[in-house]
Amino acid sequence: MEALLSGQCAAQSVGPANQLFGLLVQTILAAQCAISPPDMWPKDYGPTALAQGLDEYDFVIVGAGSAGSVVANRLSENPDWKVLLLEAGGDPPIESEIPFMQIHLEKSNVDWVYYADSSDGVEAKRTACRASSSPAGCYWPRGKMLGGSGAMNAMVYMRGNAHDYDTWEALGNAGWGWRSVLPYFRKSEDNRDPVVVGDGTYHGTGGYLTVSSITGKATAQVDHLREAVQAAGFNFLNDFNAQEHIGFGRVQVNTANATRVSSAKAFLVPIKDRPNLHVIKHAHAVELKFDENRRATGVKFVRSESDDEYREFEVHVRRETIVSAGAVNTPQLLMLSGVGRAEDLRDLNIPLVSDLPVGRKLQDHVTVPLFYRIYRSTATDYDVQRELVIPSFEYLLQREGPLTEAGLNAFVGFVNTRNISHPFPDVQYHHMYSRKRSGIASRWLQKMDLDGLVQDSVETANAEADLLAAFPILLKPKSWGHVRLHTERPMDRPLIDAGYFTHRDDMLTLIEGIRVHRRIMAQAKPMDPELVRIDLPECGREVYDSDAYWECYIRELSLTLYHPVGTAKMGPSHDPDAVVDARLRVKGVSGLRVVDASIMPDIVSGNTNAAVVMIAEKASDMLKEDHGWSA
């Protein structure tokens, strides 16, 4: 290393060796650039708008995330419609392209870095995330770039199940039952696994969104877990997006050619040169404009010129404005524009346009980490050369190796904690693997603000053995939270109350989810699993392994799975909590729709990204129908 730093790492070269290694370096740099070249993404129309001003558009879409990217694609299919897409962030960084590097996007400049409180409302004592070192509460990452949160998620393609969508319809939302939404899942999908596609009943091919099955190389860890879940009485499933949902197996993911596929990459990149679609980046929407008839006529937004300098624009809309800013930013924008609860807006001197319960019915998937020491007697130390340097080289030059593999991250499960034979789950499991002395689990905990004693406990365990982290996830919470404005200033962050565990049943279900996973791990004899006891002083008075202990544990270590929904809830006219109707039109106004996870009347039983893409596909057809055009 000393010779390297001094510039004298080898004897003098007569030429060919320097040329050879110089070529190697150039090849590696070219391969890195090829992962995410700047010209891959749609051109930023912002500089043109600065120079020439903005014309009127038929449709303006706020947010280029998992929903907005789809709507922009589908509406611009009509060459006679002029479409503008506004995105508060810019192009995704290279980390958003490499599988399972999404954690490095968290708390970066492409993350809104939100925090959600969760208190009991009596003494303002937290009901969840109590071990977080942040005084703000539960860390909630949200994507701020083309692709939105879908550009920083875990790529999981999971739809939920038929019961989820039939429940939507039973709540009064005609056309949102399973039979009605399944064609839209198929429409967007380009599933690359012929075994999964089968006769096409559940899956589609030829759509924009690539879906791949994680098959990967067989590993001892996966084999041992498979044997354990089967010994515990669960099936091993090949397709969670078909008819069966209880069991364990490998997931389907949005990847193509060993790179991640967000909705922006899937739906915007192929059509980036459509002349009737303009994309303005770094454009933060701050207000929706309405005329005297309460019709949405425009969008005011600011574009950053520097760190502390903004230029204000207002764009006029001929047909409709579509808000697809996500379950936090969508209600914030609506309320800033006078669409919200009258009493909330009155306190902030915001003129009321439509008195609606915006932000009230927030739901999220809450989870908690369990850590097991495994292979304590056989685990080998993490080696940077073996585990990182060589795999990076393989990925850059061949798109092969461990960086393309999901490992235990792709081993998921669904159970019903009250009835093992029930067809629909109430708990899901994700997993994470940290090789002995790798520090992976420790660094992840630090990202989640679980440093201090929690991080110390896990680091000590990881110094002794490999670690398996398991995440029991509450799928169907009965608890609700809300999003409210903190101030009337649009650049200020909103107030988020996650509402975790305000309903007692949620805690009981998650406790049982922990016990089910422990029973499974008891069957994994070759892994020699041993649960890591985290140093939690707040739980010291409880008897270990009692329900009271696990309740304390959950309240200390609870985390979001990044799935907030419901803050602009869809519902019929008699639903007092509804913000939009079944065609996603905002009530009490015209020319305005919400198209994103905000509209879910009840959270789906699985990762939410696939459902959001489906919502956008269905909404796009509604928009076409309502404006008299079909492809």
In the chain the domains, ranked by start, together with CATH numbers, are 43-96+140-209+262-361+566-630 (3.50.50.60), 215-250+362-562 (3.30.560.10)
Residue ranges of the annotated binding site for FAD are 153-156
Lowest mean pLDDT among 396-400, 432-436, 464-468: 396-400
Answer with the residue of higher pLDDT: 13 or 543: 543
Question: What pLDDT sits at residue 4?
Answer: 47
Count of CB atoms within 10 A of residue 595's CB?
30
pLDDT at 24: 83
Query: What are the distances in angstroms from CA 443 to CA 343, 389, 437?
Result: 43, 19, 12
pLDDT recorded at residue 395: 86
Query: How far, in Å, CA of 553 to CA of 557, rounded?
Result: 6
Determine the average pLDDT of the residues in 309-325.
Answer: 95
Q: What is the pLDDT of residues 461-474, one digit of tens each?
A: 999 999 999 999 99
Residue 16 or residue 564, greater confidence: 564
pLDDT tens digit string along 479-491? 999 999 999 999 9
Angle at which helix 16-35 crosses helix 390-398, to 10 degrees, equals 70
pLDDT at 189: 98
Residue 89 scores a pLDDT above 70: yes
Strand bridging mode 495-497 / 482-484: antiparallel
What are the pLDDT digits (tens) for 145-154? 999 999 999 8
Residue pLDDT, tens place only, 48-72:
998 898 989 999 999 999 999 999 9
Inter-residue contact 64 to 279 (CB < 8 Å): yes
User: In this predicted model, what pLDDT tens digit does every residue of 160-214 receive, in sequence order?
Assistant: 999 999 999 999 999 999 999 999 999 999 999 999 999 999 999 999 999 998 8
More confident residue, 507 or 17: 507
Q: What is the pLDDT of residue 132?
A: 95
* Closest C-alpha to 364, from 480, 505, 483: 480
Helix H or strand E encompassing 288: strand 283-290
The overall average pLDDT reported for the chain is 93
**Whole-angstrom distance, CA of residue 518 vs CA of residue 512:** 10
Q: H helices within 159-317, ranges in order?
A: 162-170, 178-188, 194-197, 220-231, 263
According to DSSP, the β-strands at 309-323 and 57-62 are parallel
Q: Which of 302, 280, 267 is nearest to 70 (CA)?
A: 267
φ and ψ at residue 253, rounded to 5 degrees = -135, 160
Q: Rounded to whole angstroms, how far apart are CA atoms 5 and 330?
A: 51
**Residue recorded with tokens 């429940």:** 167
What are the beta bridge partners of residue 534?
none
**pLDDT the model gives residue 7:** 53
Tell me the two tokens of residue 579.
């913000």
Output the DSSP codes for 539-589.
Answer: GTTSPTTSHHHHHHHHHHH-EE-S--B-TT-B--TT-TT-SB-TT-BBTTS
Please, what sign has the CA dihedral across residues 223, 225, 227, 229? negative
pLDDT at 359 over 50: yes
Phi, psi of 552 (to 5 degrees): -60, -45
**Tokens 């922006």 belong to which residue?**
264
Q: Is the pLDDT of residue 516 over 50?
A: yes
Section 380-388 average pLDDT: 87
The residues annotated with a catalytic role in the active site are 563
Strand partners, 415: 427
264, two tokens: 């922006």
Mean pLDDT of 285-305: 95
